[in-house]
């Protein structure tokens, strides 16, 4: 059962903590066995928003499957005197040791300062809130600070821009571990878009075509989202939506601008692009997402998937 350990410091921002915590808590509600822990040097921990937070002084025993997250804290100014480092040496060692043991370490907003002091940003791509990016680059010249992105992943070090982007970071980690359909299901429960980063589209097709009120289309999309590599007969999708086949096609197009098959092919192509971007061949990516071979994938990529 993987743990998600949040390291809390004085003047922590509630949303930096609550956003990722809600994602993993919702994953646990869906049957994915995450246990959330909150640790701090001293408890209660004062938050910027005035709510004191209770945390444990002792860290749990960690394994490489566990995740450590450092939420951001209030930065009074953006010069050297305005960016205090509230994470102590013992906790910095824990961050470095967890990563060295094969674990994932993540930060939200100013939490990137802690990762930098732990030596985890040197030679790696990273990001933070746009208002403190210059200071992060000044303090850690060996880090490769990436601007204007939601989050960055580099060798099990995950940094995010802060505030609401902590949700995007957590959804990415869920998608990496359990697949994009699980991340989309959690995003829908949280009423937020599923986003990604870097050269990929920042908004997933799964949520890009979910901003409608058609229950029948939503139910059909639930089936497609969970099983998009499979052959899904229209009759099965119509049964899931509780309507006739012709009615589903009409409602689906009205709601999404696509046919059910067009939507399925969009998901397949988007997932294939992700796999190709992470080193898979076009042929391997095509088969992984349900195409018989790469020819259909190449055609869809060449002309766009809408139909």
- Report residue 125 as tokens: 């791509």
Q: Do 36 and 164 fall into the same domain?
A: yes
258 within domain boundaries: yes
Asked if residue 75 and residue 153 are part of one domain, the reply reads: yes
pLDDT at 36 over 70: yes
Whether residue 198 is contained in a domain is answered as no
Q: Are residue 59 and residue 148 in the same domain, yes or no?
A: yes
Q: Is 31 exposed, middle or buried (0-12, 13-18, 19+ CB in 10 A)?
A: exposed
Domain-terminating residue out of 183, 218, 247: 183
CA nearest to 72, candidates 176, 165, 196: 165
Counted domains in the chain: 2
Q: What is the pTM of this model?
A: 0.68
CATH number for the domain spanning 21: value is 3.40.50.880
| Domain end position, chosen among 168, 183, 198 | 183
The answer to whether position 253 is within a domain reads yes
Residue 301 to residue 307: CA distance in whole angstroms: 13
Residue given tokens 């012709």 in the structure block:
246
pLDDT at 279: 79
Domain annotation covers residue 101: yes
- Which residue, among 214, 207, 299, 296, has the nearest Cα to 249 in the 3D structure? 214
Q: How confident is the model at residue 53 (pLDDT cuts 50, 70, 90)?
A: very high
14/147 same-domain check = yes
Are residues 278 and 159 both part of a single domain? no
In a domain, 7, yes or no: yes
pLDDT digit string, tens, across residues 228-268: 999 999 999 999 999 999 999 999 999 999 999 999 999 99
Neighbours of 162 (CB within 10 A): 29
Q: Is residue 193 part of a domain?
A: no
Mean pLDDT of 78-89: 64
Q: Are residues 152 and 222 in the same domain?
A: no
What percentage of the chain carries pLDDT values higher than 90?
68
Select from 135, 166, 183 the last residue of a domain: 183
Here the CATH number for the domain that contains residue 233 is 1.10.10.60
pLDDT band per the 50, 70, 90 thresholds, residue 202: very low
Domain identity same for 27 and 135: yes
195 is written with which tokens?
Answer: 């986003």
Let me know: does 37 contact 60? Beta carbons within 8 Å.
Answer: yes
Check whether residue 223 and residue 176 sit in a common domain.
no
| Beta strands 157-160; 151-154: pairing state | antiparallel
Tokens for 294, please give them: 């790469």
Domain extent for 148: 3-183
149 and 281 housed in the same domain: no
Structural domain includes residue 150: yes
The phi and psi torsions of 160 (rounded to 5 degrees) equal -130, 165
pLDDT digits (tens, 9 = 90+) for 205-214: 666 687 688 8
Per-residue pLDDT tens digits for 273-305? 878 877 789 999 999 999 988 999 998 888 765
Do 179 and 257 lie in one domain? The reply is no
CA distance 151 to 158: 7
- Residue 126 designated active-site: no
- Which listed residue (109, 174, 175, 255) is catalytic? 109
Note whether 172 and 98 are same-domain residues.
yes
Q: pLDDT at position 206, please?
A: 65
Whether residues 154 and 46 fall in one domain: yes
From CA 187, how far away is CA 174, in angstroms rounded?
A: 10
What's the mean pLDDT in 95-104?
A: 97
The pLDDT of 24-44, averaged and rounded, is 96
Confirm whether 188 is domain-assigned: no
The confidence score (pLDDT) of residue 205 equals: 66
pLDDT band for 201, please (50, 70, 90 cuts).
Answer: very low
For residue range 143-193, list pLDDT tens digits in order: 999 987 889 999 999 999 988 889 999 998 998 888 877 888 898 888 876
């Amino acid at each position: 059962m993987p743990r998600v350990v949040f390291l809390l410091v004085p003047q922590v921002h509630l949303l930096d903590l609550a956003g990722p915590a809600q994602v993993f808590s919702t994953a646990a509600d869906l049957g994915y066995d995450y246990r959330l822990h909150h640790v701090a040097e001293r408890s209660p921990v004062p938050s910027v928003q005035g709510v004191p937070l209770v945390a444990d002084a002792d860290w749990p025993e960690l394994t490489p499957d566990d995740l450590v997250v450092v939420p951001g804290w209030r930065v009074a100014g953006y010069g050297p005197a305005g960016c205090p480092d509230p994470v102590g040496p013992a906790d910095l060692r824990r961050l470095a040791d967890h990563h060295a043991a094969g674990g994932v370490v993540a930060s939200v907003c100013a939490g990137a300062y802690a990762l930098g002091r732990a030596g985890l940003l040197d030679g790696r791509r990273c990001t933070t809130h746009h208002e403190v990016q210059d200071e992060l680059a000044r303090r850690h010249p060996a880090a490769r600070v990436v601007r204007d992105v939601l989050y960055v992943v580099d060798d099990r070090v995950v940094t995010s821009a802060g505030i609401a982007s902590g949700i995007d970071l957590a959804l990415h980690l869920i998608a990496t571990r359990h697949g994009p359909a699980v991340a989309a299901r959690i995003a829908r429960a949280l009423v937020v878009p599923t986003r990604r980063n870097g050269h990929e589209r920042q908004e997933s097709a799964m949520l890009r075509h979910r901003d409608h009120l058609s229950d029948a289309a939503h139910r059909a999309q639930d089936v497609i989202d969970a099983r998009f590599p499979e052959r899904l007969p229209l009759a099965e999708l119509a049964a899931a939506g509780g309507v006739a086949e012709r009615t589903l096609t009409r409602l689906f197009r009205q709601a999404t601008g696509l046919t059910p098959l067009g939507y399925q092919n969009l998901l397949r192509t988007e997932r294939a692009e992700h796999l190709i971007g992470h080193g898979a061949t076009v042929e391997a990516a095509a088969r992984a997402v349900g195409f018989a071979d790469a020819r259909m994938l190449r055609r869809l990529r060449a002309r766009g998937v809408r139909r």
